[in-house]
Structure 1
Amino acid sequence: MIGARTAIIGVLASLLVAGAVKQAGAADAFRQLKGREITAKFAGQEFTDEVHFAEVFGRDGSLSAISMGKRKAGKWRVVGDELCRSHERDEPRCHQVWISGTKVQLRQPGIDITEDGVLQKPAARN
């Protein structure tokens, strides 16, 4: 009986480790976009978390955002290998762009907080 329990515990531990390795591999699937790739991916698209915010990146460098029900206008551009956004009177904020499929993370070196969302065709909003 003790041998069977030990075997079951061993199998469960193996499954947990395999799941953790699989998740770590999925996290590693993100890759950093370079300048031209950022422009190609973002122009004409919407970056959104599908709940709190949505930003539409116009092909002309315009930026139309809605965040927590408030609309803002701004501009966007790519500087080096970073996406830079400025809303109305705000200073530009630049981020590295990391992508995995449609999932996007905007990262700033040295800061552990990311802006997470997806890229998609702009949704119709009122």
Structure 2
Amino acid sequence: MRSAPNFLLCGLAALSLPALGAEEHWRGVTGASLQKLFQGKEFGDGVHFAYHLKADGTFTGTEMTKQVSGSWRVKQNEFCWKWQRPPGPEECYQVQQDGVHVRLLVNGSEAWYGSLQKVP
């Protein structure tokens, strides 16, 4: 019955390998490219939140079924938003993109993750 431990060992080794074709290609987005990236798009995760980032610098959407709104802008090389509903301070993030996927980072740590879609 030596094959059972070998089978388990091979299975564990296979699980530790990265999925083929799932390699990530994150790149930083800065300056004017940030405006172009977010303007007129919906940023969401498909479950918990969806925000429509409008060209006039405002956003509306839902977060855990609650209506939210605020303003957004590009400040230097960061994406910033300020919540009006519910009220909150301005928060600014570095941005990385991999295709339609976007990460908002604070000091190099992921704070938000979602996808961008064009709003019709």
The two structures have a TM-score, normalised by structure 1, of: 0.75
Higher-helix-fraction structure: 1
Distance 1:12 1:52 in 2: 34
Give the % identical residues. Answer: 30
Partner of residue 95, structure 2? 97
Distance, in Å, in 2 between the alignment partners of 1:70 and 1:44 is: 21
Partner of 2:75: 79
Distance verdict in 2 for CA 1:68–1:16, change over 3 Å: closer
Match of 2:115 in 1: 118
**How many residue pairs are counted as aligned between the two chains?**
117
Map 1:1-126 → 2, pairs under 5 A: 19=18, 26=23, 28-88=24-84, 89-110=87-108, 112-122=109-119
Do the aligned partners of residues 74 and 13 (structure 1) sit closer, same or farther apart at CA in structure 2, a change above 3 Å counting?
Answer: closer
Write the distance in 1 (CA, Å) between the matches of 2:101 and 2:60: 20
Q: Which letter does structure 1 place at the counterpart of 2:57?
A: G
Larger % of strand: which?
A: 2
In structure 2, runs of 5+ residues without a counterpart are none
| Separation in structure 1 between the aligned mates of residue 68 and residue 12 of structure 2, nearest angstrom | 50
Q: If the length of structure 2 is used for normalisation, what is the TM-score?
A: 0.79
**Letter in structure 1 aligned against 2:69:** A
Once residues 71 and 122 of structure 1 are traced to their aligned partners in structure 2, the CA distance between those partners, rounded to angstroms, is 18
